[in-house]
């Protein structure tokens, strides 16, 4: 399948936007993961000190 220059630009733009939103989602998930790890560590410490 042969794409025109305009179609190539459109496909590239779509890929860039997908990457942008994927990176934003990754950042949210990393923050959530860090929060869950901290909560788990606190719960484990409470369990061992009780």
Residue 49 has pLDDT above 90, yes or no: no
pTM, two decimal places: 0.74
Report the chain's terminal Cα–Cα distance, integer Å: 67
Per DSSP, helices labelled H in the chain are 5-49
pLDDT value, residue 50: 73
pLDDT value, residue 1: 81
pLDDT value, residue 6: 98
How confident is the model over 1-38, as pLDDT tens digits?
Answer: 899 999 999 999 999 999 999 999 999 999 999 999 99
């Amino acid at each position: 399948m042969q794409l025109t220059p305009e179609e190539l630009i459109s496909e590239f733009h779509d890929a860039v936007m997908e990457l942008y939103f994927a990176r934003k989602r990754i950042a949210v998930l990393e923050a959530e993961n860090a929060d869950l790890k901290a909560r788990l560590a606190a719960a484990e410490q409470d369990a061992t000190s009780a």
